[in-house]
Amino acid sequence: MSTSTPTAAQVPVGTAPAVPASTAAKKGLTNRWASAVALIVAVVWTIPTFGLLISSFRPEADVKSNGWWNFFTDPSLTLQNYRDVLSGGSTGESLTTNLINTIVITVPAVLIPISLATLAAYAFAWIDFKGRDTLFVAVFALQIVPIQVTLVPLLQLYVDPPFNLMPLAGRDAPAGGLYELWLSHTIFALPLAIFLLHNFMREIPGELIESARVDGAGHVAIFTRIMLPLMMPAIAAFGIFQFLWVWNDLLVALVFSSPQVSPMTVKLVSLVGQRGEDWQLLASGAFVSLAIPLIVFLALQRYFVRGLLAGSVKG
């Protein structure tokens, strides 16, 4: 995954005045040198991706024989690489199936953990019960169990579940093994999701809840009528987070997905391994996998930043 998951506790940052105020520090630094440095960083950060984009549109022979910068002296563009990679083309390596798999894996793997976590976060935030704080700290702590630690035992549970439950892996598994992917992503997302959403919930003024209770509303009513609407931005924020996580995941997919439901990341890795020199396919394939998260990310960046901040910097 490429998104960092903020794990830290809330950290106060002054009292967030309306006027941003690093002006002074900045003014001193804002000279020609400072701009130059910023520009260089920005260019260095952008060029690799830009090179990939150009490469993905160059004809096979060009991509293989010289670097993408030659495009500027000898411009020729083609959509053939995208056609090949999406339809399989001469190589029989169609990414379309994997693209669909990624979508099918991602949607439930985002919806389910968010919903579960919202419920749990509500309980942690607003229902009083014994041992609440201890339990919450325990859940928080569990988010650092590396996924690696859980993979193999989990795999064995899926293949050979106790109590004669239905195996989630194997040929007879429902939906070709999609359930184990959904379930795994849900499990791995829960601790962080509960933690982040709990932070949001605590920000909602207690008086709101209290007055609703006085009016005779139960927890379920409060949850559905007051909390959910107020929480929508936070839920959206975490949704983007989880979306990027699942979409970009390789490890969980490698371990749990069968060939027929394997997502794009798995396919790309095997493209790197097997067709290491088919640069044009790698470039276009990689760009197909980047496009959707990039669009989602840019469109919803505002929410995403909010999500990050809620997890780490509570104002």
Partner 1 sequence: MTTSDKFVHMAIAVLLFYGVMAGILLLTQRLRSRRGERVQAAAFLGPSLLLIGVGLLYPAGVTIYQSLFGAATFDPPFVGLDNYADLFTNSQQLTVLRNTLLWVLLTPTISTVIGLVYAVLVDRAAFEKFAKALLFLPMAISMVGASIIWKFVYDYKSGDSTQIGLLNQILTWLGIDTYNFLLEPPWNTLFLIVILIWVQAGFAMTILSASIKGIPEEMTEAARLDGVGAWQMFRHITVPSIRPSLIVVLTTITIATLKVFDIVQTATGGNFDTSVLAYEFYRQNFVAGNQGLSATIAVVIFILVIPIVVYNIRQMRKLEAR
Partner 2 sequence: MKNQRTRKGLAAVAVVAVSSLGLAACASDDGGSSNEVSGDAPGKGKPECAQLEQFGDLTGKTVSVYTSILPPEQEAHENSYKVFTECTGAEVDYEGSDQFETQLVVRVKAGNAPDIAYIPQPGLLKTVVSSGSVVEAPQPVSDNVDEFFGEDWKSYGTVDGKFYAAPLGASVKSFVWYSPKMFADNGWEVPQTWDDMLALSDDMAAAGTKPWCAGIESGEATGWVATDWLEDAVLRDAGADVYDQWVNHEIAFDDPAVAEALDRVGGILKNDKYVNGGFGDVKSIATTAFQDGGLPILKGECGLHRQASFYAAQWPEGTDVSEDGDVFAFYLPTTNEDNGKPVLGGGEFVAAFDDRPEVQAFQTYLSSDIWANEKAKATPGGGWVSANTGLDLNNLTSPIDKLSAETFQDPEAVFRFDGSDQMPSAVGAGSFWKEMTAWITGESTSDALGNIEESWPAS
Interface pick for partner 1 out of 76, 87, 211, 260 (rule CB under 8 A): 260
Hey, is 258 helix, strand or coil?
coil
> What is the C-alpha separation between 243 and 262, in angstroms, rounded?
17
Hey, is 11 helix, strand or coil?
strand
Interface pick for partner 1 out of 80, 140, 230, 236 (rule CB under 8 A): 140
Q: In angstroms, what is the minimal distance from the CB of 26 to partner 1? A: 5
Other C-beta atoms lying within 10 Å of the C-beta of residue 141:
12
Q: b vs e for 52-82, b when ≥16 Cβ sit within 10 Å of the residue's Cβ?
A: bebbbbbeeebbeeeebeebeeeeeebeebb
187 makes contact with partner 1 (CB under 8 A)? yes
Hey, is 314 helix, strand or coil?
strand
315 binds, among partner 1, partner 2, none (CB under 5 to 8 A by kind): partner 1
268 makes contact with partner 1 (CB under 8 A)? yes
212 makes contact with partner 1 (CB under 8 A)? no
Q: Is residue 303 a contact partner of residue 233, using CB atoms and an 8 Å limit?
A: yes
**Cβ nearer to partner 2, comparing 172 with 215:** 172
Q: Pick out residues in 4-33 that bind partner 2 (CB under 8 A).
A: none
> Token pair 């030659």 is at which residue?
70
Q: Pick out residues in 144-163 that bind partner 1 (CB under 8 A).
A: 144-154, 157
Q: Pick out residues in 64-123 that bind partner 1 (CB under 8 A).
A: 64-69, 97, 100-101, 104, 107-108, 111-112, 115-117, 119-120, 122-123
Cα dihedral sign for 243, 247, 253, 258?
positive
Q: Which residues contact 52 (CB under 8 A, 6 or more apart)?
A: 68, 283, 286, 287
142 makes contact with partner 1 (CB under 8 A)? yes
Bridge partners for 11 per DSSP: 313
Our CA angle for 193, 194, 196, nearest 5°, is 65
Interface pick for partner 2 out of 21, 260, 299, 301 (rule CB under 8 A): 260
Q: Pick out residues in 150-169 that bind partner 2 (CB under 8 A).
A: 151, 155-156, 158-160, 167, 169
244 binds, among partner 1, partner 2, none (CB under 5 to 8 A by kind): partner 1
Q: Pick out residues in 184-203 that bind partner 2 (CB under 8 A).
A: none
Q: In angstroms, what is the minimal distance from the CB of 243 to partner 2? A: 22
Interface pick for partner 2 out of 35, 46, 270, 301 (rule CB under 8 A): 270
19 makes contact with partner 1 (CB under 8 A)? yes
17 makes contact with partner 1 (CB under 8 A)? yes
Other C-beta atoms lying within 10 Å of the C-beta of residue 228:
13
> What is the C-alpha separation between 217 and 153, in angstroms, rounded?
43
Query: Of 153, 232, 224, which Cα lies nearest the Cα of 187?
Result: 153
**Cβ nearer to partner 1, comparing 31 with 90:** 31
Q: Which two tokens stand for residue 135?
A: 């339990």
Contact residues for partner 2, defined by CB under 8 A: 90, 92, 151, 155-156, 158-160, 167, 169-173, 176-177, 180, 253-262, 266, 269-270, 272-277
